[in-house]
Amino acid sequence: MGVLRFAAAAVALLASVGEAAPSSPVSTVNKRALKFDFGGEKVRGVNLGGWFVLEPWITPSIFENAPAAAVDEYTFCESLGKDEAKSRLEAHWSSFYTENDFALIKQYGLNMVRIPIGYWSITPLDDPYVQGAYEHLKTAVQWAGNHGLKVMIDLHGAPRSQNGFDNSGRRGAIGWTQGESVENTKKALNKIRDDFANNDAVAAIELLNEPMGPQLNMDTVRQFYYDGWGNLRTTNVAIVFHDAFEGVTSWNEFGAGMDNLVLDTHHYEVFDSGALSMGINDHIKTACDFGNQMASNNKWTIAGEWSGASTDCAKWLNGRDVGARYDGSFNKDGQGSYYIGDCARKSVGTVAGLNEAERNNIQNFIKAQIAAFEKGAGWIFWTWKNEAAPEWHFQNLTEAGLVPQPLSSAASSGICG
């Protein structure tokens, strides 16, 4: 065991030297051995989205059965009241995923699951959210371990919302960094550390999903990352930080002397009109170019979220009752959009319902993205399953033959040149 650990540390050290990491020799003396070889093996993962943090587009049925005011987990709980919300959420937590999903994830060649969870499930504050998901997270980690999968626990929702997206738990204002919110975020992370860092299956902890850098004070974000890293540094988990939408090449100066950092970037080509206007060849080229960027910085860099989508037509993808930019029906916070194409075909609800041309495009786009992201440290698809969004359904896409198998064949296919 000691020998193995030393070997892993040596490999990681060599990898970081090879990448000309800025860390000094002094700091590497105490470098902790990791449970996943981020410098050697490619991360090939799926997100378990919409399980412990509700998203209207992942499980529209949960929201269709709730009051119209329910647009995220916060308002879901608020509009139903704690007792009713708790009973519905408990039913969801205990059924949306089962151990069989983990068996299939392993069978399809994946090695990691990223599991989003909100602060309210870990270190609750006095607000409408209800608790209980954390117990299910413990079960999920056990299931992952049973099937030889590694887990990245991802703090997806911080107090007052770090990005204003429904997937932070609360859609609307970005209030994170105000009041005690940063301190409370660190408390949640420390509890994750205390409960999970020693678990063999837990290879990584992500400090915070998608803090909205352009609208936050980046000095505060960097200080939070530094402190969060400091609180985890004596564990054997990799410490993952999101690029805060600042780009994967903008972090080269950050992290000198900080071991075991993994940079997480999210690659979607559906959330602005420029990307939505592209044909499939430009989508593929954009993905391939992005992989080169990921490989050009001085960090282990993963695409921790991406999908097979080339439009935003999936129902409620932009939020409950918010339309799509693609067909010009987007309407949120005074922003509109213009018509690029028709969503009628594009919003077909199942992989089985896709036509031949759609299948070909999705297949090539997925292959290109895997090839691209494996120029970096790997990838984690968003998401394993959902109710009605085929381009975002890794399980069904794989079963339909639209994901390369074996997964390693994408990188050698030459699709990115």
Show which residues are catalytic: 210, 305
The amino acid sitting at 151 is: V
Question: Could you identify the residue written with the tokens 């390369």?
Answer: 404
Residue 148 tokens, joined: 């030889």
Residue 122 half-sphere exposure toward CB, CA atoms < 13 A: 28
Contact pattern from residue 396 through residue 415 relative to ligand NAG, giving x for each residue in contact according to CB under 6 A and a dash for the rest: x-------------------
Of 27-35, 51-59, 271-279, 386-394, which part binds ligand NAG (CB under 6 A)?
386-394
Query: Which has the closest alpha carbon to 373: 365, 361, 363?
Result: 365
Q: How far is the CB of 307 from ligand NAG (least distance, A)?
A: 12
Buried b / exposed e across 281-306, counting CB within 10 Å, b at 16+? eebbbbbbebbebbbebbbbbbbbbb
Of these, 89, 192, 388, 410, which contacts ligand NAG (CB under 6 A)? 388
Q: Does 351 bind ligand NAG (CB under 6 A)?
A: yes
Q: Does 390 bind ligand NAG (CB under 6 A)?
A: yes
Q: How far is the CB of 350 from ligand NAG (least distance, A)?
A: 4
Q: Does 56 bind ligand NAG (CB under 6 A)?
A: no
Q: Which residues contact 7 (CB under 8 A, 6 or more apart)?
A: none
Question: Could you identify the residue written with the tokens 């269709």?
Answer: 64
> What whole-number distance in Å separates Cα of residue 333 and Cα of residue 166?
14
DSSP class per residue in 288-312: HHHHHHHHHSSSEEEEEEE-S-SSS
Nearer to ligand NAG, 234 or 350 (CB): 350
> What whole-number distance in Å separates Cα of residue 368 and Cα of residue 411?
8
Q: Does 350 bind ligand NAG (CB under 6 A)?
A: yes
Q: Which residue is nearest to ligand NAG (CB)?
A: 350
Partnered with residue 332 across adjacent β-strands are 335
Q: Does 105 bind ligand NAG (CB under 6 A)?
A: no
Nearer to ligand NAG, 202 or 389 (CB): 389
Nearer to ligand NAG, 74 or 381 (CB): 381
> What whole-number distance in Å separates Cα of residue 88 and Cα of residue 21?
48
> What whole-number distance in Å separates Cα of residue 289 and Cα of residue 68?
41
Of 72-80, 185-193, 277-285, 387-395, which part binds ligand NAG (CB under 6 A)?
387-395
Nearer to ligand NAG, 104 or 340 (CB): 104
Nearer to ligand NAG, 134 or 394 (CB): 394
Of 54-62, 115-123, 324-332, 389-397, which part binds ligand NAG (CB under 6 A)?
389-397
Of these, 32, 160, 283, 393, which contacts ligand NAG (CB under 6 A)? 393
Residues that bind ligand NAG (CB under 6 A): 350-351, 388, 390, 393, 396
